[in-house]
Amino acid sequence: TRKKHSKILTESGHLRGSIRSQLLGSRAVAVGTNRAYAAIHQLGGPAGRGRKVTIPARPYLGVSAADRVRILAVLKWFLARRI
C-alpha cells in the first residue's frame, strides 16, 4: 500500500536510485535502469495479470526544456574553448 502522502513513483525511490549512465564511445551516452518495471512506467501500457490494467505513461527519463538550455550552454562553452 502507498504511504498516505507519497506521490506515485516516489514512495521508495528505488527506480530513481537505479538510474545509471554509460558512455558509448566518444559521442554518445546511454541512460537507463535494470528495474523490471521501469519500461511500463516510462511508456505506459497494459499491465498486471492478464494485462487487464492500463498504466498511463509517467516518463522519468528524458531531456526537459531546462535540461536543453543547460546542455546547449555546456556545448557552447566546450566549443568556445576549442576555437
Task: List per-residue pLDDT tens for the chain, 83 residues long.
Answer: 556 666 766 778 888 889 999 989 888 888 899 999 899 999 999 998 999 999 999 888 888 889 889 989 998 998 999 87
pLDDT at 14: 87
CB of 72 within 8 A of CB of 60? no
Q: Residues near 33 by Cβ (< 8 Å), separated by ≥ 6?
A: 15, 18, 19, 20
Rounded Cα distance between 32 and 15, Å, is: 10
Q: Exposed, middle or buried: residue 83 (CB in 10 Å: 0-12, 13-18, 19+)?
A: exposed
Its pTM surpasses 0.75: no
